[in-house]
């Protein structure tokens, strides 16, 4: 596939010039949010921030499913591991802290943790052993459909799933309704939208009167998405625009949606450092109790709290940082109890999290000054 | 429901502390450097945290280094633990200028039940690597531990060499160019891909090789040797970690031009599939050289004339700003390159 | 959030495809993708599953979107500078 133009830096600079002109003509600050860790990853990897005009603020929203996996969910994984089951999970989950331990800590104390690339690999591990194998499944709907597929494909009896999957559309409602929010438009996650379709955002746009642009992950996809988003804000046109037509259609992947909702049901729950999100968690339906690790293992979270009460998490202000209301220096945990080696909130867990970046570089690095 | 008591206690070493990044350095500094470095010693010692130590003997330097090797899988595309153990130690010596190896030691700890056939294959590849490096194993030791007491096989190698031109990892100056001697990230990604069932049609194999011959082609020429200001092999933690160490020890900043980094399509592709930045991935047959700008082209030509250095490239420049940091120019814009925190793992987001 | 990588299908066996990602081959599951997939097609891979068949004509569609954005204005000095650079090299 010819991906060269998607990554042509000259094209990116051209779009940056367009973006600068748009914002200049508006004559004020504009804040937009992306709700996708991979967007932040690409923005960071390619150094796109240095191309954004100063008065355009691109805020990283609650878009990293691993980072927002809540403390009790990690605790559940740690407790199941303590009972001798093998936990199969994605590499990103290893260091995410629970109330006492992360899975990496559990592994250091003898728990069996397998890092897998695909839910399929967890099933393969289960087939190769008589031990109980539990897929600690994290990720948004994009990843949840893969988990659903392995559950529907007759996994062996020693395989089960601890679902910490999250569903994106509800959390956008939360962010849009935050009272002090300055966000005027959203850049939606292209790969999640490949599953749900662009239509899923239409009621949101109607309700909140803010534009949503679906963008891909090549640097120029992101630049083009921002140009379109700022244009919609400037023109006062709240609508859904799909700038990622090579992967996203209006109705989405119907086969995947059918499998997703056959296996999972939405349920309210906390997202780490953000809020209680109604319908934000994906849990297994009762018909799949036989593969539900929560039904197969006794899990008593209070047994962990004898060691240390989950007090710190209550002081974390990740939610405000993600919505652009406050910055890490406003947090009393930042660089004290909360550091990359021992993170409390989502913004310190993620490599691209605001707190992590502030910690590593002493604030947002302004490289333009030295360019 | 029954309450489950956790058998875990806190205060344990984690895998992150062996990953070659910040956490590992902190552990080593706290545990070993502080106290070991208090004894009087003339030369480059443990507190330098260089690739090895150097002890002054008359006009020469005796360079000494030691390494323990564990890897999964033991045999990987392009090599095995045997080739890795010899190459790793020879390379550490070479990075300090000791390109002529006086001798190597080899200690092997085996798990009861380990396949003799595999052991013989590993031994054969050690011998082959020794011949390539012109480095004799002169003594060794073998221990066997009970099943489950050690995981398969651990090899420790130690190497000594003599050199008159000692090269450190802390000698960079503003204006120096950074050269990498070939395509990056091949070892780490080949090993990781084989762990994660990615089958290749292309050429993703480990670059594991002894580099003393290639380095000697530079250092044996006094005019070129004089222009080399620093060397380091970007093993665990990759180019990112090695450059951070060189920049911070030398008190310079480094601007890295991402588009000049030599890299195969296969590496780029596996990196994207597994969500791993090739700059954070281990190399076992590549060196980073800091060289004076006026000699950069001549050194590059000499490296490219060697089979292991065919893809050598100038990738960066030392600057007098952001000391201790690496500024990555991506072609789109500039950003700071973070130091990896532990072994990179496949991620989903 | 979700790491997705496009690749080209080499072979299809029931619900598994062998996919080429720029010289690296990997098996990808077809349990989720909603259209029949044949050798030569491009798919979007996420955690070892194809989540979308990418129609080849849609690549051109994206590039046309870029063009449209850039055509809406863009006669300032900076854009002209880059435009002439692009033209000179193509």
CA–CA gap between residue A213 and residue A244 (Å, rounded): 9
DSSP tally for chain A: helices H, then strands E: 16, 11
Q: Do C26 and B347 touch (CB under 8 A)?
A: no
Predicted local distance difference test score (pLDDT) of residue C79? 60
Q: Do C65 and A64 touch (CB under 8 A)?
A: no
pLDDT digits (tens, 9 = 90+) for B219-245: 999 999 999 999 999 999 999 999 999
Confidence of residue A40 (pLDDT cuts 50, 70, 90): confident
The residues, any chain, with a CB within 8 Å of residue B173's CB and separated by 6 or more, are B229, B250, B252, B292, B318
CA-nearest residue of chain A to C55?
Answer: A246
Phi-psi region of B78 (alpha: psi -120 to 50; beta: other; left: phi over 0): left
Average pLDDT for chain A: 88
Predicted local distance difference test score (pLDDT) of residue A18? 93
Predicted local distance difference test score (pLDDT) of residue A205? 97
Q: How many CB atoms lie within 10 A of CB B296?
A: 19
Closest CA to A248 of A192, A314, A178: A192
CA–CA gap between residue C10 and residue C42 (Å, rounded): 10
Q: How many CB atoms lie within 10 A of CB A170?
A: 17
Q: How many CB atoms lie within 10 A of CB A45?
A: 18
CA–CA gap between residue B13 and residue A105 (Å, rounded): 8
Predicted local distance difference test score (pLDDT) of residue A1? 44
CA–CA gap between residue B70 and residue B156 (Å, rounded): 9
Tokens describing residue B306: 């060697």
* Residue of B25, B333, B338, B341 to mutate, interface with A, max A Cβ within 10 Å: B333
Among the partner residues B203, B269, B275, nearest to C21 by beta-carbon distance = B269
CA A42 to chain CA centroid, Å, is 14
Closest CA to A299 of B139, B2, C44, B80: B2
In C, which residues are within 8 Å of A224 by CB distance? Answer: 65-66, 69
Tokens describing residue A31: 């804040």
Q: Do C49 and A120 touch (CB under 8 A)?
A: yes
Least Cα separation, residue A141 to chain C (angstroms)? 9
Percent of chain C residues topping a pLDDT of 70: 76
CA A260 to chain CA centroid, Å, is 18
Q: What is the ipTM of this complex?
A: 0.87
Sign (positive/negative) of CA torsion B293, B294, B298, B299?
negative
> SS3 for A364?
coil
Mean pLDDT of the A124-153 span: 96
Question: Could you tell me which chains touch chain A, where touching means 3 or more CB pairs under 8 A?
Answer: B, C
Q: Computed over its alpha carbons, how large is the radius of gyration of chain C?
A: 18
**Are the CB atoms for A44 and A34 separated by under 8 Å?**
no
Q: Do A51 and B333 touch (CB under 8 A)?
A: yes
Predicted local distance difference test score (pLDDT) of residue A100? 79
Q: What residue spans of B99-237 are helical by DSSP H?
A: 116-133, 186-195, 212-219, 222-225
Least Cα separation, residue C61 to chain B (angstroms)? 23
- Which of A91-100, B260-269, C45-54 is the least confident region? A91-100
pLDDT digits (tens, 9 = 90+) for C2-26: 678 889 999 999 999 999 988 888 8
Least Cα separation, residue A302 to chain C (angstroms)? 31
Percent of chain A residues topping a pLDDT of 70: 93
CA-nearest residue of chain B to A361?
Answer: B336
Tokens describing residue B30: 């706290």
| Omega prior to B248 cis, within 30 of 0 | no
Q: How many CA atoms lie within 13 A of B224 on its CB side?
A: 17
Contact C60/A at CB under 8 A: no
Closest CA to B276 of B174, B186, B193, B347: B347
Predicted local distance difference test score (pLDDT) of residue C66? 79
CA-nearest residue of chain C to B267?
Answer: C24
Q: Strand pairing partners for B257?
A: B329
* Residue of A146, A172, A243 to mutate, interface with C, max C Cβ within 10 Å: A146
Confidence of residue A306 (pLDDT cuts 50, 70, 90): low
Q: Strand pairing partners for C5?
A: C45
Q: Do C79 and A14 touch (CB under 8 A)?
A: yes
Least Cα separation, residue B84 to chain C (angstroms)? 24
**Are the CB atoms for B174 and B319 separated by under 8 Å?**
yes
A368 has a pLDDT exceeding 70: no
Predicted local distance difference test score (pLDDT) of residue A2? 46
CA–CA gap between residue A157 and residue A151 (Å, rounded): 11
C28 has a pLDDT exceeding 50: yes
Predicted local distance difference test score (pLDDT) of residue A223? 95
DSSP tally for chain B: helices H, then strands E: 10, 16
- Which of A299-308, B173-182, C41-50 is the least confident region? A299-308
A242 has a pLDDT exceeding 90: yes
pLDDT digits (tens, 9 = 90+) for A182-220: 899 999 989 999 999 999 999 999 999 999 999 999 999
pLDDT digits (tens, 9 = 90+) for B7-35: 333 467 777 777 666 677 778 887 877 77
A68 vs C59, more confident: A68
Least Cα separation, residue B22 to chain C (angstroms)? 26
Pick out chain B residues at pLDDT < 70: 1-11, 19-22, 200-202, 349
Confidence of residue C89 (pLDDT cuts 50, 70, 90): low
A362 has a pLDDT exceeding 60: yes
Q: Rounded to two decimals, what is the model's pTM?
A: 0.87
CA–CA gap between residue C89 and residue C84 (Å, rounded): 9
**Are the CB atoms for A39 and A63 separated by under 8 Å?**
yes
Among the partner residues A298, A299, A365, nearest to B336 by beta-carbon distance = A365
Q: Computed over its alpha carbons, how large is the radius of gyration of chain A?
A: 21
CA-nearest residue of chain A to B277?
Answer: A45
Long-range contacts of the stretch A362-367 (C-beta < 8 A, 24+)? A365/B335, A365/B336, A367/A47, A367/A50, A367/B327, A367/B333, A367/B334, A367/B335, A367/B336
């Amino acid at each position: 596939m010819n991906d060269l133009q998607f990554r042509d830096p000259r094209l990116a600079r051209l779009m940056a010039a367009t973006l600068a002109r748009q914002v200049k003509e508006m004559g004020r600050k504009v804040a937009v949010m992306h709700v996708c860790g991979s967007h932040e990853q690409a923005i960071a990897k390619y150094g796109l921030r240095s191309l954004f005009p100063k008065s355009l603020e691109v805020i990283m929203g609650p878009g990293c499913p691993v980072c927002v996996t809540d403390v009790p969910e990690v605790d559940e994984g740690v407790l199941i591991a303590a009972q001798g089951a093998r936990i199969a999970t994605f590499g990103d989950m290893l260091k995410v802290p629970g109330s006492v331990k992360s899975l990496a800590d559990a592994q250091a104390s003898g728990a069996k943790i397998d890092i897998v690339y695909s839910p399929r690999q967890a099933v393969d591990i289960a087939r190769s052993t008589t031990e109980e194998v539990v897929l600690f499944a994290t990720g948004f709907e994009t990843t949840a459909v893969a988990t659903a597929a392995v559950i529907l494909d007759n996994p062996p009896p020693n395989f089960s799933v601890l679902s910490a999957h999250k569903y994106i559309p509800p959390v956008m409602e939360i962010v849009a309704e935050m009272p002090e929010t300055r966000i005027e438009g959203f850049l939606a996650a292209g790969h999640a939208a490949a599953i749900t379709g662009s239509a899923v955002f239409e009621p949101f746009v109607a309700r909140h009167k803010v534009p949503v642009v679906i963008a891909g992950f090549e640097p120029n996809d992101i630049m083009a998405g921002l140009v379109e988003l700022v244009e919609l804000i400037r023109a006062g046109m709240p609508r859904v625009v799909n700038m990622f037509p090579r992967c996203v259609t209006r109705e989405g992947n119907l086969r995947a949606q059918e499998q997703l909702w056959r296996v999972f049901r939405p349920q309210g729950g906390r997202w780490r450092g953000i809020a209680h999100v109604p319908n934000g968690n994906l849990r297994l339906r009762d018909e799949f109790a036989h593969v539900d690790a929560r039904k197969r293992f006794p899990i008593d979270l209070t047994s962990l709290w004898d060691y240390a009460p989950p007090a710190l998490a209550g002081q974390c202000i990740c939610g405000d940082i993600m919505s652009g209301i406050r910055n890490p220096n406003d947090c009393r945990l930042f660089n004290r109890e909360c550091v990359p080696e021992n993170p409390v909130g989502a913004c310190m867990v993620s490599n691209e999290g605001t707190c992590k970046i502030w910690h590593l570089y002493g604030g947002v690095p302004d490289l333009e000054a030295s360019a | 429901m029954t309450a489950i008591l956790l058998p875990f206690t806190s205060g344990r070493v984690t895998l992150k502390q062996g990953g070659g990044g910040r956490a590992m350095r902190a552990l080593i500094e706290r545990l070993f450097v502080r106290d070991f470095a208090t004894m009087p010693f003339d030369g480059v010692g443990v507190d330098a945290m260089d690739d090895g130590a150097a002890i002054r003997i008359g006009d020469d330097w005796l360079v000494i280094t030691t390494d323990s090797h564990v890897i999964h899988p033991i045999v990987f595309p392009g090599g095995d633990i045997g080739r890795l153990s010899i190459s790793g130690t020879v390379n550490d010596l070479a990075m300090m200028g000791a390109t002529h190896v006086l001798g190597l030691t080899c200690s092997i700890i085996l798990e009861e039940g380990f396949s003799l056939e595999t052991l013989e294959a590993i031994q054969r590849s050690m011998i082959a690597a020794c011949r390539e490096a012109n480095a004799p194993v002169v003594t060794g030791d073998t221990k066997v531990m009970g099943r489950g007491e050690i995981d398969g096989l651990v090899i420790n190698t130690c190497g000594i060499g003599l050199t008159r031109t000692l090269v450190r990892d802390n000698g960079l100056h503003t204006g120096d160019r950074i050269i990498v001697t070939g395509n990056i990230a091949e070892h780490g990604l080949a090993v990781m891909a084989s762990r994660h069932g990615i089958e290749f049609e292309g050429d993703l194999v480990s670059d594991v090789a002894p580099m003393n011959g290639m380095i000697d082609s530079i250092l044996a020429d006094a005019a070129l040797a004089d222009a080399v200001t620093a060397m380091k092999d970007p093993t665990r933690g990759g180019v990112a970690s090695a450059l951070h160490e060189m920049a911070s020890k030398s008190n310079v900043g480094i601007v890295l031009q991402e588009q000049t980094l030599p890299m195969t399509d296969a590496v780029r592709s596996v990196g994207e599939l597994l969500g791993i930045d090739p700059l954070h991935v281990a190399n076992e047959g590549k060196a980073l050289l800091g060289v004076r700008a006026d000699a950069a082209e001549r050194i590059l030509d000499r490296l490219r004339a060697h089979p292991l250095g065919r893809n050598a490239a100038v990738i960066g420049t030392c600057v007098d700003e952001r000391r201790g940091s690496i500024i990555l120019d991506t072609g789109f814009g500039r950003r700071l390159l973070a130091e990896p925190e532990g072994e990179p793992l496949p991620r989903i987001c | 959030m979700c790491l997705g990588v496009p690749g080209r299908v080499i072979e299809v066996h029931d619900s598994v495809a062998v996919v080429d990602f720029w010289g690296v081959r990997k098996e990808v599951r077809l349990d989720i993708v909603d259209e029949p997939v044949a050798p030569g097609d491009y798919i979007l891979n996420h955690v070892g599953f194809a989540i979308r068949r990418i129609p080849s004509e849609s690549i051109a569609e994206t590039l046309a979107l870029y063009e449209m954005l850039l055509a809406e204005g863009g006669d300032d000095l900076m854009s002209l500078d880059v435009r002439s650079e692009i033209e000179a090299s193509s």
